Amino acid sequence: MLTYFLLDDNNDARDGSEFPLVERQAEVGLAGIAFTSAIDESRKLMFVADDSRAKSYAWADNNGAIYDEGFPVHTLQTDDHEGPLHVLSPGRIIRAGKGSIGVWNLDELKTHGPDGTKRVGRKIDTSDTWRDEDDEIEASSGSKPTGTISLADPQLAPARWHAHPSAPANMFTGGKTVSCYLGHGGDINTFSTSSGDPNIFLTAASDGHARLFDHRMTLPVLSLQAGTGDEDVAGIALVHPDGVPLVFTGASHDEVIRLWDVRAQKMVYELSTGNNAVVGMTWDAPRSALYVAAACEYMDRNGNTYGYRRAKVPRIPRHSVPGEDDGPMDDDDFDSEDEDDDEVPCWPDKAAHAEDYFGHLFDSGNHRLLRYAFKDQADPSVLPVYGDASINRESDWW
C-alpha cells in the first residue's frame, strides 16, 4: 500500500484548516515489498519499486483533477537494476544496479491505459511470491530500459541518489568517481543539501554522527553527535531559514529530534517524537515545516504494543526542557497510578525519556508521520493526539 498526502490541495483539509490532510492511498501491485521510491512532480507521478519491478501511480490527471486514489500508469522491468530510483528531467527515470544504471524515457513507455488495467509486457507468474494475497499482484512484466549507463567500476552499486540544489541539468561523467569524502565510522544512511548554501552537504551514518562537508574539502568541517554510541542516525535535514544554517538530526534509539546551530556548533533544543525512533525526515522550506517518519519500537508485526506501563502523569507539567538547575521530580509531583486507572495513559518501560522531560506528556503508541510547524505565532493548544497503547508486557510477534 502506498500512502500519500497532497500538501497543496486546499480541499484536503478536513475542517478548512491548514492541517490535518486527507490520507490517500494506492494499491501497489508489486510482488515484493517496495523499498525505494521517487516522485516526478511535473508529471504528477509517484514511483515505487521492489527488487524486480517499478510502478508509477498518478495523483492527478493532465488537467490537474485529483484522483481519489493513486492511478496506475507505468510498470518498469528492472531485474538487472535493484538499487534506488531517481527521476531526471526532462522525462527520464533511472535505477541503479551493480556496474550500470538503467534509464527509462517516460514519453516512450507503454502505459496501463485509460482505465489503468492494460497489461504492459508479458504476463508473469504471480503464484510463487511472499505476498499473502497473490491475486492483488499486477501481472505485467513491464517495460525494459530505454538504455543503460555503464559505470567505470563494474563492482560499484550506488545505494542512494541525491540531487544537488544548484544543478538544474543532469550530468554524468562516464560513470567515473570524481570526488571522495572521508571521516565516517559506519555506513552512510542518507544525505541532505540546501539551496541556502550549495557548497555544503550533510551526511548521516551508522556511527551515531551527522557530518557537514564542504564539497571542496575531503574531511568534514563539522561533526555532530546525533545519537548515542553507534546507533543509526537515520534522519537529517540541512536548512537555511532566513539564511541561518541549521541542522535537524534524528536517530534510531534515543527517541528525539535535535536542532543544531551550525555557526555556534551547539545544540539549540530538542523535539519529542512521542517515544518513537526516527527513520527519516525532510524539510519543507516553503511552509517552514519538518516532516519526520517515526517508528514505534514497542509494537510488534501484528500492530500490538508491548512493554508499556501506566504513565506517571505530572501534576504540574513543566513548560521547558529540564535543565541543569531543575531538580528531579519526586513521587509527589506525579498522579498516583491508583487514580482513575482506566483513564491513565501508558508509557514504555524502556522509553529514552521520563514523562516530564519535554514539558508535555505525549506517547505515539504506533508508527507515525509527524509534522513540526515553525511559526512566528505558535498556537500551544495544537497538540498531537496521544497514542492508545495498552499495557502488555510481552511481544506477540507471531
Tens of pLDDT, residue by residue over 261-299, are 999 999 999 999 999 999 999 999 999 999 999 999 999
CB 1 within 8 A of CB 25: yes
Task: Quote the CA–CA distance of 382 and 342 in Å, as a whole number.
Answer: 25
Domain boundaries, the chain: 1-178, 182-398
Q: Where are the alpha helices (DSSP H) in 11-75?
A: none
The predicted model gives 177-204 an average pLDDT of 94
Q: Where on the phi/psi map is residue 61: left (φ > 0), alpha (ψ -120 to 50), or beta?
A: beta
DSSP letter string, 332-389: GGB--TTTTGGGPPEEETT-SS-TTTTSS-----S-EEEEEE--SS--TT--PPPP--
Whole-prediction pTM: 0.87
| Contact partners, residue 143, CB within 8 Å, separation at least 6 | 74, 75, 76, 77, 104, 109, 110, 120, 121
pLDDT digits (tens, 9 = 90+) for 226-274: 988 778 999 999 999 999 999 999 998 899 999 999 999 999 999 999 9
Residue linked to cell 525505494: 36
Tens digit of each residue's pLDDT (9 = 90 or more) over 313-370: 877 554 444 444 555 555 555 554 544 455 679 999 999 999 999 999 999 999 999 9
Residue with cell 554510541: 229
